[in-house]
Structure 1
Amino acid sequence: MKAKRSLDPKKLVVTALLAGLAYVLNSFVHFPAMAPFQHFVDVIAAVLLGPWYGFASALICGILRMMSGRTIQAVTGAIFGPILGGLVYRKTHNLYLVFAAEVFGTGVIGALSSYPFMKYLYGVDLPHWYYFVPFYTPAAIVGAGMGLALLLVLQKAGVLQQMVHRINGQ
């Protein structure tokens, strides 16, 4: 029989802090149709928290952004990257693959999942099912690149693994 898992208070606090950081950064630094700081935080959350708490962080930020007037794209464009990045990091511990997973998760999966919501729920006339891919991918590359750069600096300083171990209680 498998033991029931409970929520980890340290991970919950870091999840909330990263969600708040993403929300604040996206509120103050805004580009038309781009939220690169969401992807910056997603890469960090994928490594520090793993796929499911990273997902929760992105979801919380996306919901806050929707409450501030953004569309459902604030959620669909954010949640797939940290899930995929967290799963990749869990298997490989390769930061460059986490970057690639965030870009693919957002730039392709998030973009494609946004199409039906925007077309059928919001009634936006969109020409193609892949319409959002060219918009999401550059933002994901820029943001995930910033997150990768920070993680590489932390790794080179020898503190990244300590942070991961402390947050995950290892």
Structure 2
Amino acid sequence: MKQSPSLKKMLVTALLAALAYVLNTAVVFPAMAPFQHFVNVLAVYLLGPWYGMAAAFICGSLRMLSGRTIMAVTGGIVGPVLAGFLYKKTKNVCLLALGEMVGSGILGALLSYPFMVTFYGMKAGNWAQLIPFFLPSAAVGSLLGLLTILLTKKTGLIDKLKAKINA
């Protein structure tokens, strides 16, 4: 039975969300989740921005259920949208990774600030105070995702996978 492209994309989205959750749970860095950004880059390349955002939302929600703050969601959902927009306009994977880095590392941090003040009692200060915590994680994960895409492009593996998902 032939599967529709949207069903394939939903299945791959769920798999990528699960991969991000497992990697972020198994490989722990204090206050960092670089594998979320790694998976965001891969998801945007393979599926597009909306499915990438869905994978980030699913993983972030699971991480929240495991005791993380709302930053697990707010910090990860902006990056795939910006990355996807840049990639769609330029087809440049370096700009895709940069979009994830800026979207999650800076815009995600700014989006998280009001939630942390309102719901978690963080003392109000500078809106940008979360950026130093978000940006290193987003940078490491985005670069890992970019390297993975570039290395698998040489073998043609990732493009074959992308074609199968979208067929």
Shorter-chain TM-score: which interval? over 0.9
**Equivalences, count:** 164
Whole-angstrom distance in 1 between the partners of 2:58 and 2:67: 15
Q: What one-letter code is carried by the residue in structure 2 that aligns with 1:13?
A: L
CA distance in 2 between partners of 1:7 and 1:154 (Å) = 22
Once the two structures are superposed, residues 4-47 of structure 1 have per-residue CA deviations (whole angstroms, 9 ceiling, x without a partner) of: xx981100000000000000000011111110000000000010
Q: Extract unaligned runs of 5+ from structure 2.
A: none
1:159 paired residue number: 157
Residue 130 of structure 2 is matched in structure 1 by 132
Alignment of 1:8-157 (within 5 A): 8-157=6-155
Please give the TM-score of this superposition, normalised by the length of structure 2: 0.94
Query: What is the CA–CA distance in structure 2 between the aligned matches of 1:60 and 1:7, rounded to whole Å?
Result: 20
SS at match of 1:27: helix
Greater shift after overlay, 104-113 or 122-131? 122-131
CA RMSD of aligned residues (A): 1.3
| 1:51-105 CA distance string (max 9 Å, x none) | 0011000000000000000000000111111111122222221110011000000
Inter-partner Cα distance in structure 2 for 1:109 and 1:33: 17
Separation (CA, whole Å) in 2 of partners of 1:126 and 1:65: 25
Structure 1 unaligned segments of length 5 or more: list them: 1-5
Q: Which amino acid aligns with 1:100?
A: L
Q: Percent identity?
A: 55
Aligned counterparts of 2:56 and 2:44: Cα–Cα separation in 1: 10
Runs of 4+ off more than 6 Å:
none
1:95 counterpart letter in structure 2: V
